[in-house]
Structure 1
Amino acid sequence: MQNTAQTDEILVRENQPLHLRHATTIRCTAGTVWITCVGEKRDFFLSTGQSLHNRGNGLTLIEGIGEGWIRLESAGQATIRLNYRAAIGRLWRKLLSRTGRVASAPDWFA
């Protein structure tokens, strides 16, 4: 297993499972990964772009099908990202409702 500091992504390989003990969101950024969580009745397979929010605090095993890349996000990171997007959306709607003009117009800030 290898961690790349530049992108915060983790390489997971076949027959070399990664062990986690805390709830987190697991995002597959490349390849396919196999996830087994204690307390879950089934396993999960994620492909590029898919994610899984693991709510349990038990053991979670993540293994690549061949090779796969994952990114781990804490619940706090996911909440901050969602709140940020919601705030930008509200601001955008508020600006458009006040001006009634398209934001790309040259005199938009006038």
Structure 2
Amino acid sequence: MTESVIRFLIGCVIVSTFAIIGDVLRPKSFAGLFGAAPSVALATLGVAVVTHDAAYAAVQSHSMMFGAAALCLYSMTVCRLLMRQHMRALSASLLATAVWLVAALGLQAVFSGGA
């Protein structure tokens, strides 16, 4: 319970900080980018280092990188399906979700020895 509260508080501070940075930068679309993923990732890694150890946080950071790479592949797949294949958004996103899952788990298996 206390880990969740700590994660929440750290997340609030970091989200607010990144939102302010994003609001100052141009274009304004950076505000959402800076306010979401980096702040949650930093809060999660900070709590992991404090409550567990650096090795545990390293595993989490590697998983985050694999997920980010898979998300990039997901985004490119959705764009290609929407623009070139003229699929409906729901169909394209569902199909690309399978691509994301295979990519994320595949990267995890290849670079982490299957663990």
TM-score band by shorter chain is 0.3 to 0.5
Q: What TM-score does the superposition give when structure 1 sets the normalisation length? A: 0.35
Q: What TM-score does the superposition give when structure 2 sets the normalisation length? A: 0.34
Structure with greater proportional helix content:
2
Q: Which has the higher contact order (CA 8 A, sep 6+)?
A: 1
